[in-house]
Amino acid sequence: MIAAVGANLPLPGQIDTGDTAWMLAATALVLLMTPALGLFYAGLVRAKNTLNTFMMCVGALGVVTVMWAVIGYSLAFDGGDGFVGGLHDAFLHGVTLAPHPGLRIPDLLFMAFEATFCIVTSALVSGAVVERMRFGPFLVFIGIWSVAVYAVLAHWVFGGGWLEAHGTLDFAGGVPVEMASGFSAFAAAIVVGARKDYGRQALLPHNAVYVLLGAGLLWFGWFGFNGGSGYSAGSSGVLAFTNTLLAPACALVAWFVLDLFRDRRVTAIGGATAIIVGCVAITPAAGYISPTWAMLLGALAVVPSYAIIVWRPRTRLDETLDVLAAHGVAGLTGILFVGFFAQLAWNGRANGLLYGHAGQLAWQAVAVLAGPAYAFAATFVILRVIGMFTPLRVTEREEAIGMDVIQHGEEAYTTGEGAILVGPEGGFEEPGRRFGERFFGPVSKSSRLLRHK
């Protein structure tokens, strides 16, 4: 029976419509994770910074997608050497509808699927610098970061780079996604510096419902993220999909227990964080470990992340939304876990230490040293160089007023009371414009942000 089903499958080198259908859906699921992250982050900041925080994720949807198509994809996946790929796929030059080498889905779809990973990873780093970093320099930063950090690390573990060549197992991006964003956030928080009131005033999340809904949508999208990283509707995809259900559930329960011990109450934002930590931890391991070990991983991973989330606010490090704890450290835990619990019977690739292959753990350990070191150093240099040309953050006065009004000229929760119509400049609502001018005088177009009455 199994042989008969296998005989009907197209060989690698032929397109399989089932695989392609699933990967199309998975790509859309992963894309949803970026606005979901925007919602998650927006809920965690103060009301006056809601739009700016969300827009950092929306910015990644634009800038990073363009950079990926122009050069990032090529540097990640176009052969090259052990460190970085080549330039043959720049501007998607060599990307066609023919099957991606070794897979049964079109090369073009493979590119789109991988693009959504690069977008959400770049957006993740914003969590370290929200509420003070200027929007323009941030866009420049993630544009460069998506190529210089994400594409390089994706090449190391997915694109035939040196870690993959030595057998490091990373199913869906523990190195280029989770550890890269977490340790880059660490560096970014150091370079940009703390918010002006950090440590002096309570800087609280303004909408925990956004945080919960954002976490739920991220989990939903993660089924595409992990479930699609087998690049087929076959067994590794199914295993990864199911593990993405189990591990975050265990992380949630474990987090509840830790919350109960610490404060005798289970917190909502803690629960949302637990979902993320569980999803992150299973990411590198999703298609490599058994469902039972996935459950253990989900529960174990919350311990180091919880400890760092409790410890970090007592330091001067304003890594504002704890990307290091939720992504960097949980990703690290997952990568190492693979080295112990990978099981050939489930993954068809390799065993971990527990099943008699100690070498696997060694190469997982190399990955948790090399990946974070590169991400931290590169991010530090990129931000320092951008900072030589333009200030990275707004002034203290602007920070106090809020990023939404200062950076975008909009507010998330405006009532419209007391707002006087002075546009639209195009004039298609002429009566309104005349009303404004008759009663309040014309307003010059030259001054943009603040005008004296």
Partner 1 sequence: MKLVIGIVRPEKANDVLEALYRAEIRGVSISRVQGHGGELDRVETYRGTTVKMGLAEKVRFEVAVSDSFVEATIGALCDGGRTGEVGDGKIFVVPLEQAVRIRTGETDVGAVTPVGS
| Structure token digits, residue 261 | 């011990």
**Angular region, 351: left φ>0, alpha ψ -120 to 50, beta rest:** beta
Q: How many CB atoms lie within 10 A of CB 324?
A: 28
Q: Quick one: 265 or 397, whose CB is closer to partner 1?
A: 397
We find the least distance from the C-beta atom of residue 216 to partner 1, in angstroms, to be 29
- What part of residues 419-448 is at the interface with partner 1 (CB under 8 A)? 419-426, 429, 436, 440, 443, 448
- CB neighbour list of residue 182: distance below 8 Å, 6 or more residues apart: 124, 323, 324, 325, 326, 327, 328, 329, 330, 331, 332, 372
Amino acid 156 reads W
Strand partners, 198: 201
C-alpha to C-alpha distance for 445 and 422, rounded to whole angstroms: 10
412 binds partner 1 (CB under 8 A): no
DSSP three-state, residue 393: strand
Binding mask 175-214 for partner 1 (x = CB under 8 A): ----------------------x---x-------------
- CB neighbour list of residue 295: distance below 8 Å, 6 or more residues apart: 246, 247, 249, 250
Q: Quick one: 130 or 245, whose CB is closer to partner 1?
A: 130
C-alpha to C-alpha distance for 78 and 150, rounded to whole angstroms: 14
> Which residue among 402, 403, 407, 412 contacts partner 1 (CB under 8 A)?
402
* Phi, psi for 170 (deg, rounded to 5): -145, 100
> Which residue among 79, 414, 430, 442 contacts partner 1 (CB under 8 A)?
414
> Which residue among 7, 265, 417, 446 contacts partner 1 (CB under 8 A)?
417
> Which residue among 268, 409, 430, 442 contacts partner 1 (CB under 8 A)?
409
Amino acid 240 reads A
452 binds partner 1 (CB under 8 A): yes
We find the least distance from the C-beta atom of residue 68 to partner 1, in angstroms, to be 28
- What part of residues 23-62 is at the interface with partner 1 (CB under 8 A)? none
Q: Quick one: 286 or 405, whose CB is closer to partner 1?
A: 405
Contact window for partner 1 (CB under 8 A) among 55-63, 277-285, 324-332, 401-409 = 401-409
We find the least distance from the C-beta atom of residue 203 to partner 1, in angstroms, to be 10
373 binds partner 1 (CB under 8 A): no
Q: Which of 293, 253, 304, 291 is closest to 274 using CA atoms? A: 253
We find the least distance from the C-beta atom of residue 313 to partner 1, in angstroms, to be 18
Contact 287, 171 (CB under 8 A): yes
The number of residues in the chain equals 453
Contact 136, 390 (CB under 8 A): yes
C-alpha to C-alpha distance for 279 and 223, rounded to whole angstroms: 9
Q: Quick one: 250 or 405, whose CB is closer to partner 1?
A: 405
Q: Quick one: 174 or 402, whose CB is closer to partner 1?
A: 402
> Which residue among 356, 397, 431, 446 contacts partner 1 (CB under 8 A)?
397
We find the least distance from the C-beta atom of residue 450 to partner 1, in angstroms, to be 4
We find the least distance from the C-beta atom of residue 188 to partner 1, in angstroms, to be 25
Site of interaction with partner 1 (CB under 8 A): 197, 201, 397, 400-402, 405, 409-411, 414, 416-426, 429, 436, 440, 443, 448-453
